[in-house]
Each structure stands twice: as C-alpha cells, then as structure tokens.
Structure 1
Amino acid sequence: MTQLQLTLNLEDLKVDVVNSNLNEVMKASLVLVLNQLMEQQRDDYIQALPYERTEGRTGHRNGYYDRSLTVSIGNLELKVPRTRDGQFSPTLFEKWQRKEQSFVLSMLEMVVNGVSTRKVKKVVKQLCGEEVSKSFISGLTEKLDAEVNKWAGRPLNVMYYKYIFTDAMYIKVREHNRVVSKAVYIAVGVNKQNKREIIGLKVSHAESKAGWNEFFAYLKARGLQSPSLIISDAHEGQKNAIRESFIGTTWQRCTFHFKKNLKDAMPKKGSKEVMDLIKDIFDAPGIKEARKLKEQFMETYEEDSLFSKAAKLLDEGFEDAIQFFNEPKSYRKSLRTTNNLERINQEVRRRDRVIRIYPNNQSAFRLIGAVLMDIEETLDSGGKKFLN
C-alpha cells in the first residue's frame, strides 16, 4: 500500500491562522489537507509524479475542477484533480457520501419523530453552516417511499391473526388548493405468538361503510384470513363492513366507548352509583354472571325516566359488548377495548400536530407509515406478549 505523504504550504496556512477566526482556520487547513490527499491519489492512479517520465505511467493529468463539500464546520471549496481518460475519481467523495446518507437519515428521523421543518432547518444550519430550503426537507421524506410501501404491502397469508383491532382517525390534507379532512384507517393484528403487529394502513375519504369495505378488501388482497374476533367502536359503516367482509367473524364492541355512550345518556349528576353497576357487569367473572347483572340493571332502571335511555342503549348493545367473555379469561381485559390501538393513534396524533396539514395523500401515507413502523418496533418487544 502506498504511504500517503502530505506536503502543506505552511506560509498559506500561517496567513489563514493570523487573519481568520477558528472556524476559518479549520476550514482552510482542511482544504489544504484534502486537496493534497486527492493530488496524492491521482499520482497513485497515474503511477507517476508531475513531469516524471516513466514506463509505468498509466495516464496523464488534465487539470482540476472546482467542487464544494459541506462538512460540520461549513462549506469547503476544493480543487479536484482530473485525468485525460476521465476515469479517476478520488475516494474522498465516495466516503463522504456515506456520511451524507447517514446525515440525511438523521434528518428523516427528526421529521418522523415530529420535529417541525423549521426546527430541522435550524439544526442543519447549526451543524453545517448552510441554509436548506423547506422543499429540500420535504423532499427528504420521499426517500421513505420504498421502505414504507414494502412494509405496508407485505403479505399477510404467512401468519394467522386471530384477533384484530380496527379504528380510524382524521387528518387534514391539501387537495386542489383546499384543505380537506381524510380518514386514516389502521388495523392491529395479534399473531400466533400473541404479539401485536400493525397490519394495515390506508388514507382515504371520510369514514364510511364503503371506506371500510375498501380497507378490508385491501387487507384480504394481501392474504388476510377471517379472524376469530374483530374489536372496534360502533361506527355503523364499520359494523356493516365487518359483517359483509368477514363471514363467521365475531364483532366485539369496544366496552370503553360503549360505557362512555351509556354515561352520556345519563344525567350529569347522581349517576355514579349507576355507572358502578355497569362497570360490575363488564367486570363479571363470566358471561352468565354478566347477563344476570344486566337483567337486574334493566329491572331497576328500565322504567326510571332519568336512566331509561341508558337502559335501552345497554339492552341494544349488550350482546355485542360481551363477546370477549368467550375468550380465555387472561385475554379478556385486553380484548374488550380498543385502548391499545387508541394509544397508537395518540402517538400518531402527537407527530401529526407538528405537521398539521399534509401536502397530499401520498405524503400523509408516507409519514404516518414511517411513524407506525417506528411504533411497531416497540410493541411487545423481546419476550413480552400482548396476551399471556
């Protein structure tokens, strides 16, 4: 291996030291070192020193061209050596490109983790001494496309998901110079190892039966088999879509949302005792005990003008809300609500508040997908299981 020897012009360096601040001194020194490094590499490529006549020569020099390189202390203007055959390329830029990719990934991570574009620009300015445009930062996120699309479109027929949680949230998207609301459909499946996976993401129009049918068709096209139980809130369109899309699947109404609906149907004052009775119904040791407590509740409050509306709601939605009792006792608390998916939605919403308005559907899918991929890595990590 050729030993690299650097010959620096100390007079030039001394002038820079006297007349510049510390950053400029470092930049000037680095320019001299890197230029000399590239010169040495060209000598090795040609196998001859300047003006040297030798039989081993493999090429000829052809001057220099200017090229800038951004480093942590600022922008460097370098003189890059050329050869007549045009084949010589110093290793400096290849090596720096790898560092640059790392830097770009770091900026992407900042965006995904909810750091605003303005703050990212400030960080880049502090690190590199260079301004970057808002469009440059936004363009960075396009690098996520391939990774997010691969994750979101992965086959689902390699694993059976017995339990699936579904929900939708709303975001704002710019469309034809207008800001409109869009529904983000998300599905979380529990696999054979009793661990959770985020198996579905789709950005579509407002939550509706057609939207849910489209979302479920997209999951089935990727190989999803009908689960034993789907847990969701009581959105009418979603209920109908589940019934049509998954024959033989049981629907579990989220008891958290159901109890909230019941509470909203009661007077604001004097309802604590009644709500405690409802809580006892869903905390019963088994389905028979739950039904017995429910009948007692109906006998007590069905004709009570203050609580008759709540009693009617309970009667209508009761059977759909107690399907979790058919599952193993240790699973029931986790399967009776969509709370675990709500927490995922809250994390997405935390990042969403920074962005506020997505420029288009694809950018929303891309960034929310990246956030969900990040969240998925933290779900039931190591030996931890969602259902024990």
Structure 2
Amino acid sequence: MTKPTFDMEAAIEALRSGQDLTGKDGILTPLIKQLTEAALKAELDQHLAEDGSNNRKNGKTPKRVKTAAGSFELNTPRDRDGTFEPQLVKKHQTHLTDEMERKIIAMFSLGTSYQDIRAHIADMYDIEVSNGTISAITDKLLPELQAWRERDLEALYPIVWLDAIHYKIKENGRYVTKAIYTILALNVEGKKELLGLYLSDNEGAHHWLSILTDLHNRGIKDIIIACVDGLKGFPEAIATIFPKTEVQLCIIHQIRNSMKYIASKNQKAFMADLKCVYKAATLAAAETALDELEAKWGEKYPVVIKSWRSKWALLSAYFRYPDYVRRAIYTTNAVEAVHRQFRKLTKTKGGFASENGLLKLLYAGILKASERWSHPIQNWNLTLSQLSIHFEGRLDEYIDL
C-alpha cells in the first residue's frame, strides 16, 4: 500500500492560522483523498492476487467524490479484465458517507428553505446541490412516514387531543386549502405521542369519523377522555367509535367564539363575568356563575348564552377533577402547541407543490418535537389515580397501580 504523503506539520500550521478542518479547502480533505486512494489500491492488489489469471492493473479513472469533509477528485484504479469491483467506493458512487444527506434532512426538519440548504452545503462542503437533489434526499422520509402512519397503536390512551390545521396545496394548477388532522395522545406512562396525521379537503365531523375508525383499526380499543374543539358533530363521531369516551370541549375555543359576538365596548366586562364561570372551583359554583352571566347579558347577547347552555354538558366535564387534571383537559392547547411547531416549519412557505411535500416536512418536524417527549407530564401519577377512580375498571389491565 502506498504510504499517504499527508504533511502533518503543514496541517498543524494551517490549523493554527485558522483554516477549517473540513469543508471547502479543509485541512483533512487531502488526507481523506490519500487514504481512500491507498485503500482502493490495496483492494485491487488483493483482487489481482486472488484472480489467478494474467489480469493486471490498467491505469486509473478520475471522478469527483463528495464527503462531509469536502469534495475532491479521486483516482480509482482499474484492471485490464474489468472484473475489479471496489468496495470502499463502488462504481458510480459519488458520496463516501451519508452524513451530508443526514445534515440536509436535519436542516429540512428545522424548516430551512431549499435555498438556504444549498448555500449551507456549498459553504461547508464546497458542493453544489440542486433543489431536485434536496427533494430526492428528503423524499427518503416518505416510506418512513407511511410506515409511521400505519403502525400499530396501544390498546388504551387515557387522554387524546384532536384538532386540525390548514394549508394551501397545489392541485390541478391552483392552490386549494386542505386540512391536516392531528391526533396527540398521552399513553399510560403519561408521555406524549402523536398518533397520526391525516389530510382532507376540509375539516368536518364526517372525516373525523373515518380517522377515528382508522385509529380503532390500528389497535386502539379505548380512549378515556377526548379533548376537542367545538366542531358540530364531533362528539357524535367519537361516540360512534368509542362509546365510553368522555368528551371535553375546549374552553378556549368556546371563549374565542363567544367574544366574536360581543361588542368591543363590552368585551372587558363580559370577559370578567365569564371568567367566573370557567374558573369556578366547583360545578355548582360554575352553574351559579352561568346563571348570573345570563341574567346580566342574556338579553343583549342571547346567541352567546344559548351556545354555553346547549354545550354545557360537554364544556363542564372537567369540573369533576382536581386542578392538575383540569389543566390537562380543559383546552386543546397541547395539540395546538404541535401546530405552533408546524407553523414555525412552514412559515416561509406560501403553499406546497404537493401533499407529499407538506407531509414529509411535518413528519420531519414531528421527529424533532418528539425528542422532547421522553418524560411523563407533570403530576401524571396523580392524574392516573384520579382517572382510575372516575373510570373504575377501564384502566386495570393496562396499568399497575
């Protein structure tokens, strides 16, 4: 094997002067080139020794190779018979490792634009990559995404939050708004888990029914509490697939919808009175506050009061529980936090050229976000104890209290 001629003293001096180890004009690039060519020569020598024929060396073929340390021209040795198949750098291979692909996917998962990814790769590795190349690399997430969307789920989830977010996707030459349905859950260990992403032309109870059916088919037998927004027909869709599930309508959604109908000059006073309803210590106190709200504002805003009255059974479910349980279920804020993460990823995108383009970006974001979901939520053991009391027998075979 030819000994590498890497000049260590010159490399140390270059490092002291501030030259980069890797990337464009990196100190290590010549060493990687020499070591790679020496290893290829050794592979050819071994091949010829084992061949037993008159086969022999037949010059070299240059090709441009990209590495995480930089790009360089590699001289690949040939044999006369053409039977030599190098293993270190195979024929037509132009990357020594997949590190660069991992970096591209990592930047993509942070919502970095293709333009910025190209600039970063050019700056770090002296390699020009096209949008098509970046798209092809990130498309490798799609089979993984599909497997994730079809994976088996646990039999029981104590708490599930369901909500939708909307995006513009190009279809038949024009952009149309579509809904991404997001299902976030707490498993029996109290850890967050995103159960799935579903895409539809619009948000509606009918499509939620198909999603809930899919969750059931993937293994979910029971959900204790489902926290949802005020979409009409949503509770009925849940009851169809999971008849024992308790539904909690999102208080924050209800408040926002109510304030749309309150005149700006009355909003501060109305909000102060409404707070006495949803912040009450007990169900009885909340109902008394609701009566007082109606007495004061009922004639002026009957539509708002009627909405609270008609939905009260589902809005007030959280009053059954202590404060630490209420905080987890009275709002869909947990899944909305996931949507905020999605918006950070997509804020530079006016629209998406395809459904897959959107889904692979959101999936990359999920992988990043789920890294922080390694611990149970606060007071989970106490919450689980409360649920086991209120829903006697339903958790017994899944937990060990």
Report the TM-score range of the alignment, normalised by the length of the smaller protein. 0.7 to 0.9
Quickly say closer, same or farther: Cα 1:97–1:383, change in 2 above 3 A.
farther
Indicate if the aligned counterparts of 2:182 and 2:196 stay in contact, CA closer than 8 A: yes
Residue 302 (structure 2) aligns with = 308
- Structure 1, residues 103-136: CA drift from partner, whole Å, max 9, x if none? 1011011111100001001111112323211111
Indicate if the aligned counterparts of 2:170 and 2:353 stay in contact, CA closer than 8 A: yes
Residue 180 (structure 1) aligns with = 176
- Structure 1, residues 118-166: CA drift from partner, whole Å, max 9, x if none? 100111111232321111111111111232222222211x341122110
The question of 1:346 aligning with 2:340 is answered yes
Q: Which moved more, 1:67-76 or 1:218-227?
A: 67-76
3-state SS of paired residue (1:311): helix
Q: Percent identity?
A: 21
Indicate if the aligned counterparts of 1:266 and 1:309 stay in contact, CA closer than 8 A: no
The question of 1:377 aligning with 2:379 is answered no
Give the one of 349, 356, 359 matched to 1:362: 356
The question of 1:259 aligning with 2:261 is answered no
Give the one of 29, 38, 41 matched to 1:39: 41
Indicate if the aligned counterparts of 1:193 and 1:385 stay in contact, CA closer than 8 A: no
Residue 146 (structure 1) aligns with = 143
Indicate if the aligned counterparts of 1:38 and 1:80 stay in contact, CA closer than 8 A: yes
Quickly say closer, same or farther: Cα 1:267–1:374, change in 2 above 3 A.
same
Stretches of structure 1 lacking an aligned partner (at least 5 in a row): 11-21, 49-54
Give the one of 110, 122, 134 matched to 2:107: 110
Indicate if the aligned counterparts of 1:212 and 1:237 stay in contact, CA closer than 8 A: no
Aligned length: 363
Give the distance between the partners of 1:300 and 1:373, measured in 2 at CA: 49
Residue 396 (structure 2) aligns with = none
* Bigger radius of gyration among the two: 1
How do 1:1-388 and structure 2 match up within 5 A? 4-6=1-3, 23=25, 34-47=36-49, 60-71=56-67, 75-83=71-79, 84=81, 86-89=83-86, 91=88, 100-156=97-153, 158-303=154-299, 305=300, 307-379=301-373, 381-382=374-375, 384-385=377-378, 387=380, 388=382
Residue identity matched to 2:165: M
3-state SS of paired residue (1:376): helix
Report the CA distance between 1:339 and its aligned residue. 0.9
Give the distance between the partners of 1:313 and 1:383, measured in 2 at CA: 35
Under a length normalisation based on structure 1, what TM-score does the superposition of the two structures give?
0.83
Q: RMSD value over aligned CA atoms? A: 3.1
Under a length normalisation based on structure 2, what TM-score does the superposition of the two structures give?
0.80
Stretches of structure 2 lacking an aligned partner (at least 5 in a row): 8-23, 383-401
Report the CA distance between 1:293 and its aligned residue. 2.0
Residue identity matched to 1:295: D
Report the CA distance between 1:346 and its aligned residue. 0.9
